[in-house]
């Protein structure tokens, strides 16, 4: 499937094509059409299969096509297991956003908490963070997620392997559970807590399993 065959805003399509990306990978072709319809997604595919764009493309399409639920709260929150991964996702997201879009905010440990609080007061549309620091900002009341439209968990298996299930529960409860769309991506479904977390966080998800780990 070509990106140009997907029902994407032409400006988003252009920012994909500028990166010399033409053909969607299997996970992108499987996930993006369902995500664009607003469905929850529970997907596993191996490392290197292109999961980042599988969730960033539908998240960015939202800013072109849907009116925001809230003027202040972030529209999409992406939770990643490690600081490094969160930074990489930020780099990829910036390549898809139009220049006039507000700057996404990165909430990761090891950086000044109050600086992050100041950035959140600019009401970003996109927040990317690690589970511990995101949960800290929720508990500090510096991050409000009542108007969140999309919650994305990247490398959910690693998030759980690292012991962040209680932070995920805090995020789930704060993050507009009833109305939001949730996308969960994982390399495997091996982690024993994953079934429980996905049961808790997702609603009638579209399941995609693309592993060739035989």
Q: According to the binding rule CB under 6 A, does residue 212 interact with ligand ADP?
A: no
Is residue 105 within 8 A of residue 124, CB to CB? The reply is yes
Binding-site partner at residue 191 among Mg ion, ligand ADP, none, CB < 5 to 8 Å by type: none
Smallest separation, CB 96 to ligand ADP (Å): 12
Site string for ligand ADP, 108-147 (x = CB under 6 A): ----------------------------------------
Write the CB contacts of 28 (distance below 8 Å, at least 6 apart in sequence). 1, 50, 53, 54, 57
Per CB under 6 A, which region of 48-56, 118-126, 172-180, 200-208 contacts ligand ADP? 48-56
Nearer to ligand ADP, 35 or 120 (CB): 35
Taking the CA of residue 38 as centre, how many other CA atoms within 13 Å lie in the half-sphere pointing to its CB? 5
Phi, psi of 126 (to 5 degrees): -125, 135
DSSP for 133-180, written as a single string = HHHHHHHTTS---TT--EEEESSHHHHHHTT-HHHHHHHHHHS-TTT-
To 10 degrees, what angle do helices 194-201 and 165-174 make?
Answer: 10
Is residue 52 close enough to count as binding ligand ADP by CB under 6 A?
A: yes
Among 8, 43, 53, 86, binds ligand ADP (CB under 6 A): 53
Backbone angles phi, psi at 173, to 5 degrees: -70, -30
- Residue 193 has φ and ψ, to the nearest 5°, of -85, -10
Task: Compute the distance between CA of residue 152 and CA of residue 118 in angstroms, rounded to an integer.
Answer: 23
Closest approach, Cβ 47 to ligand ADP, in A, equals 4
Site string for ligand ADP, 13-32 (x = CB under 6 A): --------x-xxx--x----
Decide if residue 48 touches ligand ADP (CB under 6 A).
yes
Nearer to Mg ion, 107 or 152 (CB): 152
Q: For residues 47 and 112, which CB has a smaller minimum distance to ligand ADP in the complex?
A: 47
Instruction: Tell me whether residue 66 or residue 92 sits nearer to ligand ADP (CB atom).
Output: 92
> Nearest CA to 137 among 163, 159, 116?
116
The binding site for Mg ion (CB under 5 A) comprises 51
Binding site for ligand ADP (CB under 6 A): 21, 23-25, 28, 47-53
């Amino acid at each position: 499937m070509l990106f140009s065959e997907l029902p994407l805003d032409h400006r988003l399509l252009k920012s994909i094509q500028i990166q010399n990306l033409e053909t969607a990978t299997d996970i992108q072709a499987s996930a993006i059409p369902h995500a664009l319809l607003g469905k929850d997604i529970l997907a596993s595919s191996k490392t290197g299969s292109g999961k980042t764009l599988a969730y960033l493309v539908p998240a960015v399409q939202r800013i072109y096509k849907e009116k925001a639920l809230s003027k202040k709260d972030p529209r999409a929150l992406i939770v990643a297991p490690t600081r490094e991964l969160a930074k990489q996702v930020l780099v990829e997201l910036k390549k898809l956003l139009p220049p006039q879009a507000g700057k996404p905010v990165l909430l990761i440990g090891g950086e000044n908490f109050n600086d992050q609080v100041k950035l959140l007061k600019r009401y970003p549309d996109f927040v990317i963070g690690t589970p511990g620091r995101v949960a800290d900002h929720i508990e500090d009341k510096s991050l409000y997620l009542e108007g969140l439209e999309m919650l994305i968990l990247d490398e959910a298996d690693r998030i759980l392997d690292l012991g962040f299930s209680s932070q995920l529960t805090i995020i789930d409860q704060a993050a507009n559970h009833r109305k939001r769309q949730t996308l969960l991506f994982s390399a495997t479904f091996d982690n024993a807590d994953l079934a429980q977390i996905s049961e808790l966080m997702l609603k009638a998800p579209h399941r995609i399993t693309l592993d060739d780990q035989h």
